[in-house]
Each structure stands twice: as structure tokens, then as C-alpha cells.
Amino acid sequence: MIRTTCPYCGVGCGVQVQAQTDGWAVQGDAAHPANLGRLCVKGAALGETLSDHGRLTQPMRRARGAAPQAVSWDAALDEVAAGFARIIDTHGPEAVAFYVSGQLLTEDYYVANKLMKGFIGSANIDTNSRLCMSSAVAGHTRAFGEDWVPVSYTDVEQADLVILSGSNLAWCHPVLYQRLAAAKAARPQMRVVVIDPRRTATCDLADLHLPIRPDSDVRLWNRLLVHLAKVGAGSGDFLAGTSGADAAVQAARAEADDPAQVAADCGVQAEALARFEDWFATTEKVVTLFSQGVNQSASGSDKVNAIINAHLYTGRIGRPGMGPLSITGQPNAMGGREVGGLANQLAAHLKLESPRHRALVQQHWQAPRIADTPGLKAVDLFEALHEGRVKAVWIMATNPVVSLPDADRVRAALARAELVVVSDAMAHTDTTALADVLLPATTWGERDGTVTNSERCISRQRPFRTAPGEARPDWWILSRFAAKMGWGAHFDYTHAAGIFDEYTRLTAAGNQPDDSPRLLHLGGLSGMTAAQYDALQPVRWPVPAADTPAATAPAHYRLIATPSRSYPHAVDADWPLVLNTGRVRDQWHTMSRTGMAPTLAGHRAEPVVDLHPEDALLSGVRIGELARVQTRWGALVARTTSSGDMRRGEAFVPIHWNDRTASDARVGALVAPVVDPVSGEPAFKHTPARVVPFPVNWQGFVMSRLPVDLAHTDWWVRVQGAGHVRFEMAGRQIPDDWSAALRRWLGVPDDADWIEAADPEAGIHRAAWLVNDRLQACVFISPRADLPHREWLSGRFGERALSVPERAALLAGAPLKGGDAGPTVCACFSVGRNTLLKAIRGGCLTPQAVTAKLRAGGNCGSCLPEIRTLIADLQPVEAA
């Protein structure tokens, strides 16, 4: 049994992996402080993603326009080194760049940063954390002088008021959400407030939901500050040691003096706002947890500081059960920040702008040079690539053709670049498709190193399976490249432990309370042997060496005046909707790992655009049909839904689908390249948009064990099933002979066992192909989206031979005896909607009763909000 850490979200759950005859069993690690044994459905389904299928297993080189060719590591790295050296010689170090990721391990990140900032001599290394955490980093740095996260998960449990702002914790950090839910159940006096324009699953726990108008957060928090000042909630003692309070309150007053006006501007009810103000003012233990609804905004840094202001003003920081908590997204977003993965940082929380700090780092690295001006931030970096100012880019562990704003321009920038190097674990992503050199990296299960989670807890990721082919750790790849560039002596690492040691010593270098003090101190972890490093237990920093005095709180706190900014692109008659983008429960980013797990495909199988019903009506689109979502930057096609969670004037589209998983669903292409002026973080939650019909003449789906010809479709989505793949599809062109067309799409031989049913007048065609009574493929076509549930059919692919009744039921798409489970709600135990409804009708009127009967909701609990909604929907309406 191997103990390691989940590769998904920043909760950083410990997992135990056990080899089995047919794969790996994964379960929560009861000894890990982040999860104490719990896992969410993504973590629990990790075993399904451990396959060599689709992996990049060899270095590849591709001449433009040609197919990639496998080459040796030596040849691939020679080519990368020659390309980088040539461009640096001709155009200087600013003409090359690294674009890295919060999914690298700390050791990989440290080496990449050292190589770029100390040896190549430019700060052109930025990370996808720019898209994620950089507003929080900017806010922390402005308020605390250092990127310090002052709250732990235990503080969240101990708080009496927990404010979740711009965070869909139930879906994005499910284990922390479950901890919060359990704490609230144990102490019902705890209150939860959710601030989010959408009514998300997280609102299930909320005593108060403020469905604010997009990007009106700063105004709301300014209003709170005015209220706190008015009722005398300021903490005199604490404030005496801070600066900026008067200016912050004054700036807030200037725009938020009138509560009725603020409520109207923020689009919330005046009483709700008053309740929020009152709860905050009168509760000592307050935690404000925030995420992308705060960070990813043209005013992201100000949102962060407006939140921190309220905590500083009341002195609610640095004590149990209180403080502002920026929850990190990626498994090692925090680790990347520690080692300086952003273009405006150095390493170990040392500052690029400080000559003393630069000297300290240069000395530690024995580096020939040290970058002294900030490099290009992600959005600017790809713009510079487009303009030819940057000529070579090396992308590691991120998929920018999907995840950056204005993503079509990003794709064009890569196509124009002189040299594109991509290190990835997977062979086929939208970004690897544009690489000149492709380098196979190890990934979770194979790689070895450390990550830091949202509460500053460092844990080990440990390898337990053999890397396929020639895949290598990212630090190894970077070190070999460094050797080819002539810096081998400085990168002669043989094990991740040596890198970690070098890093921990840098955190201690010159780190004295009276001289260059930094809170990030890992001196106590220096000097470990490889064996000690392998055995390292989860530990929260700071970890100073014994007897070393170390800072435990910032030397100085600063309140920042945050006047509201106007948003650069306003909605208007042509672009009447605000496009908001974010996550769904069971997929991770661009689906390169979660897309392989059939268990995770059931919850949300296809991209949707969620709309308020009145906006759908005004846009002329029917709920449940396909629609085109357009902005000034790009367009996509998605099915419309109306979850009931949306405000008027807004549309929500999930981020996960890409050109590998759908014909036309990369939402990044629609997002305006607008960034926060302080942090450079893109405003992913706010682009003016419109929705128009996407007319088709037929819709349908196929499920098949073999590849399917999609050339005749105008829209498709790929859904991973067990033993088969499903394609949802639609088209305009109606084939003359449907039967022949379907056989051609599926590749059905003439003598196949092929059953078919059609109502040609009605445009309905259904067929199935069996091989020795085993289901090989099936297809369902209709003019509308009125197709059978996919779940029962999908389950038939798991059977060696179909029974006679099952064969007879195939073309109905449902069992003859009834009992189709319906769409999956509980992914952990595969419990469908129909099964749940039946149990609720049968008297299970609480989630506990449903769990007792069906187990649904009893594992990760992520589906409990949906189960609660189903129960509420079926409750008899009480007489008014």
C-alpha cells in the first residue's frame, strides 16, 4: 500500500493506493489531516484513470504540417537546446519563455524557475496559476507584505460565520465542503453565507445566499466596511498596528454610504444585505473563503483586498476560527507560489524587485545571472508570441489552447511561433497538436515529489506504477535540457529529494526576524536523506529548524482602499448577456484525466449553456435544444438548460470540453482577454455574449466499441462509457437512406446481426449491432432531443451476451419490465434520478433516509444537494 496525495483540487486529500489483480484500489487516507479518510467522487474514481491508453510515451519531433516522428531523448533535447540557444543568441533571453502549471510538483517548479530566472536570465516564466490565484497573491502581498494564507481547514470548522464568496465549494472542493457541512450539523448555530450570482449546489448549506450582480463584489464589501465603521466594530488595538484603515473606510464611504443604493446596484434585497452586515459585525469567529468568482475578475485583486479589509478592520485574523481563506484550485498551486512560478516573483517568497533578495537567490543558485525585471504574465506572454516578440515557448503540464482567454488567438500564436515545446503526459491535447517538440512526462501515480495544499500543508506524491515508455519526471527533463545548455553542474539532480533540500535551504537563507524575515521558512525540513524525504509526513509551514527564531505572523498589516472600477466591456443590446464560466462536479479542467473515467461521465455528459428562462425566450432558443453562444471573440455550440439557478441577464457555460471531446465547445475562445490591472488575472467570469438558435434537422447518439465516422454530423460530443464510447450528435443534412448511412457511420459489415426499427415519416431511426449476442454498437436518431436515457443502454455494454428480453428492449432503449434508473445523480454508487424519485415517493423524505435505502449520498456526499432538491420538488405544496 502506498500513501500519496490526490492530483486534483487544492484540498490536497491523502489517498492510499493498493495494487489489485486488475488495477488499483484507491481510498482516502484516514491519517491525512486534509481529509481524514474522506474522498470525493473524483478522488474515489482515480483507479479508472490509471491506464497507459492515450499516453505520450516517446519524445516526438514534428516538422510543420507533417506527422510527428518519435526521436530519442537526446535528439529531442538537442533540438530544444539548439532552438533556445539560437533564439537567445540572436534576440536575447526575453525572446524565450516557459509556461508552467500548478499541476507540476514543487521540485519540478523549482527547477523550471531556477533555470529561467537564474540561468537563461529572464523572468519570462509564468504559470496557469496566473489564471487562478494571482489576484489572491496580489491581495495577500498588498495586505500582508507576503503571500501568506492565514487560515486552516480547522479554522473553517470552528468559525461561527463562514462566508463563501465566488466559490462553488460543494463541487470544486467537495471534501472541505463535507467537513464544513459536518461542522454545521454538529453546531447548528454556525451560519453560512454564499455570495454568488448563481444559486449553486453550495447554497444547499447556506443560511443566506446573496445572488449578486456579476462583479459587484467590491461594492458589497465596501458597504460592509462602512457598516462596520458605523457600528464601531473596528478593533482599536489591532488597528493601531495596521495602516490604511482610514483611507479604506473613506473610499468605501464615497461609494457605499447608502445601503438601499448598494443593494439595488448589487442586485440583492436590502434586508438580505442588512442581515449580512449585521451577522458579520456581531460575529467574532468569521472565515471568508473565496475562489474564482473573486479572483478571476477585472477587479479581482480589489475584491480580495476588500474582503481582507473587513477582517483586518475587525481584527479577525490570526486567531482560531477566523480569517480570509483563498482556497487554491490546483493540487500544487500553493507550492508553485512558494518556489516563485509567477513572472513577478523570485523564489521562496523572495522579491524580484529587491536587490538584496536577488543577490541572495543568485548566491544560493551560484547562478551566472539573475532576472531583475518582471517577465510577461500569461495573457501578455501569448500576445507577445503572437506578435513575434517572444519566439520560443516551452509549455509544461497545462493546456493553454483550451484554458487561456481568447483561445483561438492563443492557438494562432502557437502556430506562428518559431519553436513550441510541450511537455505533457498525454499524446493528444489541443495544445500538443501544435508542438514542434513533444516531451513525454510522468504523471500522477509515477511521479515523485511534494505538493502544498490550500492550508499550507506539504504532502508527498509518491509513485506506485511504472511510467509508460520513455516518460520522465519534469525535473529530469528540465535538468537534461540545462546540461545541454552548458549548466549541467548546477542541475545534476538525481532524485527529487535533492531538489527539495536545495529549496528548503533557500527558504532559510537570510531569513531572520530582524533581517529579511519571511513567513515561508522550511529550514526544519533541510538535510533530510532520500529515505527521510520518502517518509515525509504531511506538515504545515512554517517549519523553522529547532531553536531558529522565525516569523509567525506578518510584521505589518495594510488595509487597501478599493474604489469600484468600471468593467471594460459592458453588456448592450447586441451582447445582452454576461457569460460566466466555471466547473462541474465530476470533470477536471480539460478532461485529460477525468475524461477517461466512465463513472465521472454520468453527472454532466455534455456541455450546456445555462440560462434564465426569460433570457432563453428573448434569445429565441428552446430549452433542451442546441444553441450557439457568441461573443466578440468566438463562438461555441451547447445544449440550453434552465437549472433555475441563473439570474436574468447571465449565461453559464462549463470549461471542460475541448476539441478532443466536442466538435465546438472550447469556451476559452469566447472569453475576452481582459485582465485585472494589478494581478494580470483574466476576467473569466464576465464576457458580454448572446445566444442564438443552432438549427439542426436531426439529433441522436451512438454508442460503440469501435471508432465512429463523424464526418456527416454538424455537432458532436464524446462521452466515455465502460467498454464503449458514446457520441451525442446532430446534423442538418438528412441522408437519403438512413439505414445505409447508419451502417456506414458505425462500420457495420453486410452479414452483421443488425436490428433496426424506423418511423421514417416521423424521422425516427434506431438500430443495434450485436456480435455473438454481445452488444457492439447502437444508434438512436430523432428530429428532436426526445431520445431514450443513455444509462440502461450503456450498462448493456458490460454484458457478455444479452438475454432475449434485453435484446427485445434494445431499440426501446429501456428494459421491458420498466425500472430504468435514469440519469446518474450519485456517481459513487451509480444511483439514477428515477431510482431516487421512486424512493422519495416511497417515503424517503430526508437525504438520510435516501442514503439508508439506496446508499446514494453516503460516500462523498457531493450529490446531497441534488437529492435534497429532488425531495423538495416532490414535497406536497402546502396550502397557502
Alpha-carbon dihedral 119, 121, 124, 127, rounded to 10 degrees: 30
Cα-flanking dihedrals φ and ψ of residue 146, to 5°?
A: -155, 155
Picked from ligand MGD, Mo ion, ligand SF4, none, the partner binding residue 255 (CB below 5 to 8 A depending on kind) is: none
| DSSP H or E segment with residue 209 | strand 208-210
Residue 854 has φ and ψ, to the nearest 5°, of -115, -5
Task: Pinpoint the alpha helices (H) of 174-258.
Answer: 174-186, 217-230, 236-240, 245-256
Which residue number places its CB atom closest to Mo ion? 329
Q: Choose the contact partner of 655 out of ligand MGD, Mo ion, ligand SF4, none; CB within 5 to 8 A by kind.
A: ligand MGD
Distance CA 578, CA 688 (A): 5
- Beta bridge pairs of residue 704: 725, 777
> How many angstroms separate the CA atoms of 856 and 739, rounded?
41
CA dist., res. 680 & res. 702, Å (int)? 43
Instruction: Work out what residue 754 binds among ligand MGD, Mo ion, ligand SF4, none; the CB cut-off runs from 5 to 8 Å by kind.
Output: none
**Greatest Cα-to-Cα distance within the chain, rounded to the nearest angstrom:** 87
Nearer Cβ to ligand SF4 (349/603): 603
> What is the footprint of ligand MGD within residues 125-164 (CB under 6 A)?
128, 131-132
What is d(CA 225, CA 205) in angstroms, rounded to the nearest whole number? Answer: 25
Compare residues 121 and 329 and give the one whose CB is closer to Mo ion. Answer: 329
Q: By CB under 5 A, tell whether 602 contacts Mo ion.
A: no
Return the number of the residue (150 or 214) whose C-beta is nearest ligand MGD.
214
* Site for ligand SF4, rule CB under 6 A: 6, 8-9, 11-13, 35, 39-40, 42-43, 173-175
CA angle 795, 800, 802 (to 5 degrees): 70
Cα–Cα distance, 625 to 641 (Å, whole number): 8
Pick between residue 3 and residue 666 the one whose CB is nearest to ligand SF4: 3
Q: Exactly one of 403, 631, 640, 824 binds ligand MGD (CB under 6 A); which one?
A: 403
- Report the first-to-last Cα separation within the chain, whole angstroms: 59
Close Cβ partners of 316 (under 8 Å, ≥ 6 residues apart): 235, 284, 285, 286, 322, 323
The Cα 449–Cα 21 span in angstroms is 27
Helices (H), 257-354: 259-266, 270-282, 292-295, 300-313, 333-339
Min separation Cβ 609 and ligand MGD, Å? 13
Shortest reach from residue 164's CB to ligand SF4, in Å: 15
Select 29 or 664, whichever has its Cβ closest to ligand SF4. Answer: 29
Q: Which does 39 bind (CB under 5 to 8 A by kind): ligand MGD, Mo ion, ligand SF4, none?
A: ligand SF4
* Member of 424, 436, 610, 728 binding ligand MGD (CB under 6 A): 424
Buried b (16+ CB within 10 A) or exposed e, 532-552: ebeebebbebbbbeeeeebbe
Alpha-carbon distance of 838 to 818, in angstroms, equals 12
Please tell me whether residue 132 binds Mo ion under the rule CB under 5 A: yes
Q: If binding is defined by CB under 6 A, does position 197 make contact with ligand MGD? A: yes
Instruction: Verify binding: residue 329, Mo ion, rule CB under 5 A.
Output: yes
Binding-site residue total for ligand MGD (CB under 6 A)? 61
Question: Does the CA dihedral 337-516-346-502 come out positive or negative?
Answer: negative
The Cα 354–Cα 515 span in angstroms is 13
**Stretch of residues binding Mo ion (CB under 5 A), selected from 208-216, 321-329, 594-602, 743-751:** 321-329
* Half-sphere exposure at residue 722, Cβ-oriented, CA atoms within 13 angstroms: 17
Q: Which is nearer to Mo ion, 266 or 395 (CB)?
A: 395
CB burial of residue 761 (10 Å; 0-12, 13-18, 19+):
exposed
Q: Shortest distance, CB of residue 398 to ligand SF4, whole angstroms?
A: 18
The one segment of 127-135, 214-222, 301-309, 777-785 that binds Mo ion by CB under 5 A? 127-135
Q: Using alpha carbons only, how large is the chain's radius of gyration in Å? A: 27
**693-732 footprint of Mo ion as x/- string (CB under 5 A):** ----------------------------------------
242 binds ligand MGD (CB under 6 A): no
CA 633 to chain CA mean position, Å? 22
Residue 119 DSSP code: I
The option from ligand MGD, ligand SF4, Mo ion, none interacting with 423 (CB < 5 to 8 A, set by class) reads ligand MGD
Are residues 652 and 583 in contact, defined by beta-carbon separation less than 8 angstroms? no
Which C-beta is closer to ligand SF4: that of 127 or that of 594? 594
Asked if 11 interacts with Mo ion (CB under 5 A), we say no
Instruction: Check binding of 720 to ligand MGD (CB under 6 A).
Output: no
Does the footprint of ligand MGD cover residue 203 (CB under 6 A)? no
Residue 655 makes contact with Mo ion by CB under 5 A: no
Binding characters for ligand MGD, 430-469, by CB under 6 A (x = yes): -----------xxx---x----------------------
Q: Could you tell me how far CA 81 lies from the centroid of its own chain?
A: 32
In which residue are the cell numbers 484513470 written? 49
CA nearest neighbour of 356 among 145, 517, 491: 517
397 binding partner (options ligand MGD, ligand SF4, Mo ion, none; Cβ < 5 to 8 Å by kind): ligand MGD
Closest approach of ligand SF4 to the CB of residue 44, in Å? 7
CA distance linking residue 585 with residue 643, whole number of Å: 15
Q: Which stretch in 174-182, 200-208, 324-332, 527-535 sits in contact with Mo ion by CB under 5 A?
A: 324-332
- Within residues 232-271, the interface with Mo ion by CB under 5 A covers none
Give min distance, CB of 136 to ligand MGD, in A: 10
Contact between 195 and 243 under an 8 Å Cβ cutoff? The reply is no
Q: Which stretch binds ligand MGD (CB under 6 A): 182-190, 226-234, 289-297, 599-607?
A: 289-297
* Binding partner of residue 668 among ligand SF4, Mo ion, ligand MGD, none, CB cut-off 5 to 8 Å per kind: ligand MGD
Quote the DSSP letter at residue 809. H
Q: Is residue 362 within a helix (H) or strand (E), and if so which, with residue range?
A: helix 355-365
Please say which residue, 117 or 604, places its beta carbon nearer to ligand SF4. Answer: 604
Backbone CA torsion sign across 349, 355, 356, 358: positive
- Cell numbers describing residue 401: 489552447
Contact partner at residue 80 from Mo ion, ligand MGD, ligand SF4, none, CB < 5 to 8 Å by partner kind: none
Contact flag: residue 375 with Mo ion (CB under 5 A): no
CB of 836 to ligand SF4, least distance (A): 22
Contact flag: residue 608 with Mo ion (CB under 5 A): no
Q: Does 682 bind Mo ion (CB under 5 A)?
A: no
User: Which one of 209, 377, 583, 790 is in contact with ligand MGD (CB under 6 A)?
Assistant: 583
Give yes or no for residue 685 binding ligand MGD (CB under 6 A). Answer: yes
Interface with ligand MGD includes 588 (CB under 6 A)? yes
How far is it, in rounded angstroms, from Cα 144 to Cα 166? 22
Shortest reach from residue 681's CB to Mo ion, in Å: 10
Cβ atoms of 633 and 687 within 8 Å: the answer is: yes
With CB under 5 to 8 Å by kind, the binding choice for 561 among ligand SF4, Mo ion, ligand MGD, none is none
Residue-level length of the chain: 880
Report what 167 binds from Mo ion, ligand MGD, ligand SF4, none; CB cut-off 5-8 Å by kind. Answer: ligand MGD
From 335-343, 345-353, 575-583, 817-825, give the range in contact with ligand MGD by CB under 6 A: 575-583
In one letter, which amino acid is 853? K
Sheet strands (E) in 694-815: 698-704, 715-720, 725-731, 753-759, 764-771, 774-782
Find the binding residues for ligand MGD in span 320-339 (CB under 6 A). Answer: 329-330
Applying CB under 5 A, the residues found at the interface with Mo ion are: 132, 329
Applying CB under 6 A, the residues found at the interface with ligand MGD are: 9, 101, 103, 128, 131-132, 165-168, 171-172, 195-198, 200, 212, 214-215, 217, 291-294, 296, 329-330, 396-400, 402-403, 423-426, 429, 441-443, 447, 474, 580-583, 585, 587-590, 592, 655, 667-668, 671, 684-685
